[in-house]
Amino acid sequence: MSPLLTVENLRVSFPTRTGEVNAVRGVSFTLGRERLGIVGESGSGKSQTGRAIMGLTPGHAKITADRLNFDGVDLLSASKRQRRDMRGKRMAMILQDPKYSLNPVMPIGKQIIETLRTHESVSGRQARDRALAMLEAVQIRDPERVFDLYPHEVSGGMGQRIMIAMMLVCGPELLIADEPTSALDVTVQLEVLGILDKLVAERGMGLIFVSHDLRLVSSFCDRVLVMYAGRVVEELPSANLAAAQHPYTRGLLNCLPTIGSHRHPLPVLERQAEWTQ
């Protein structure tokens, strides 16, 4: 079976006054109907990789790749229009800053309905029911109340789940989830992961899960890519994260505080110049 997504030698760079910033420097991977994790430190290019796949890179940036293919469609030569039609419907991305991705002056329920109706012709009644059902699916306690709230009236974790609901309401085949659960408490986090997990298993969705939480990624995904300075430095089967070879990955695993281990101060990463080579 051909993969859902093929990425070969993806590069993203930004021209700035002080020269080019190479955010992504030759990333390659394929994705089937599975859960792929991407971990890596802040600024390593995780979000820009996801955005390039989605067609959400800022206009002034330069993107090149040997291949960027989604289910037979060449994304590099697709028109703006084609990509817009795909977005939301066939592929969706849960952006990292939910507060910025929600419209601050529109009630939450209305925003979900609008997303749905951009891509499907459904009646107002049906749209409302599906929006409420989606809020319930992401474990929002009283969907009817939250439906009418504005983004500033919900908690950090609720905002994240609302974004997830909005991205899932059309049933995409590819979902890129960029730190989708970082503001959630652990029990809700697991419930949300359970929802994503079900979508992969039952609907055959492909999932790219971007996170800095190694423990979570290793327990949830099938494979993990470790990024550092715009490159993939290591690919691991999740079950084997502890066997990581790259010193960056090993350092990351070592600096997590865990219950019952009292290490004061916590070990921190000593970054090496050769990791960026």
Partner 1 sequence: MTGTALSVRDIVVTFDEFVALNHVTMNVNEGESFGIVGESGSGKSTLLRAVAGLNVFESGSLTVAGRSYSGSRRDKEFYRTVQMVFQDPYGSLHPRQTVDRLLLEPLAIHGFSDVDARIARALDEVGLGSGFRFRYSHQLSGGQRQRIAIARALILEPKILLLDEPTSALDASIQAEILNLLEQARKDRNLTFIMVSHDLGVISHMCERLAVMKKGEVVETVSVEALEKREFSQEYTRQLLVASEGFRRTA
Ligand X SMILES: Nc1ncnc2c1ncn2[C@@H]1O[C@H](COP(=O)(O)OP(=O)(O)OP(=O)(O)O)[C@@H](O)[C@H]1O
Binding stretches for ligand X (CB under 6 A): 14, 16, 21, 23, 40, 42-48, 58, 96, 153-158, 183, 185, 212
Does 15 participate in binding Mg ion (rule CB under 5 A)?
A: no
Distances from the Cα of 274 to the Cα of 39, 49, 235, 240, angstroms: 19, 22, 18, 24
- Interface residues for partner 1 in 237-266 (CB under 8 A)? 251-252, 255-260, 262, 264-266
Angle of helix 124-137 versus helix 108-119 axis, rounded to 10 = 120
* By the rule CB under 8 A, 30 interacts with partner 1: no
At residue 125, what is the residue type? R
The rounded distance, in Å, linking the Cα atoms of 116 and 172 is 12
Task: Report the residue closest to ligand X, judged by CB.
Answer: 157
Helix (H), strand (E) counts: the chain: 10, 11
How far is it, in rounded angstroms, from Cα 59 to Cα 267?
40
What's the distance, Cα to Cα, between the start and end of the chain in Å? 35
Least Å from the CB of residue 269 to partner 1? 4
97 forms part of the interface with Mg ion (CB under 5 A): no
Smallest distance from the beta carbon of 169 to partner 1, in angstroms? 20
State which residue has the least CB distance to Mg ion. Answer: 47
Residues 148-167 that bind Mg ion (CB under 5 A): 155-156
The alpha-helical segments, DSSP class H, found in the chain are 46-54, 80-86, 98-101, 108-119, 124-137, 143-147, 156-168, 186-203, 214-220, 247-254
- Asked if residue 47 binds Mg ion (CB under 5 A), the reply is yes
Residue 58 site contact among ligand X, Mg ion, partner 1, none (CB < 5 to 8 Å, cut-off depends on kind) = ligand X
With binding defined as CB under 8 A, does residue 157 bind partner 1? yes
The pair of three-digit structure tokens given for residue 54, joined into one six-digit string: 């989605």
Binds 23, which of Mg ion, ligand X, partner 1, none (CB < 5 to 8 A, cut-off by type)?
ligand X
User: Which stretches of the chain bind partner 1, using CB under 8 A?
Assistant: 40-43, 97, 99-100, 141, 145, 153-158, 161, 179, 182-190, 193-194, 197, 212-216, 218-220, 251-252, 255-260, 262, 264-269
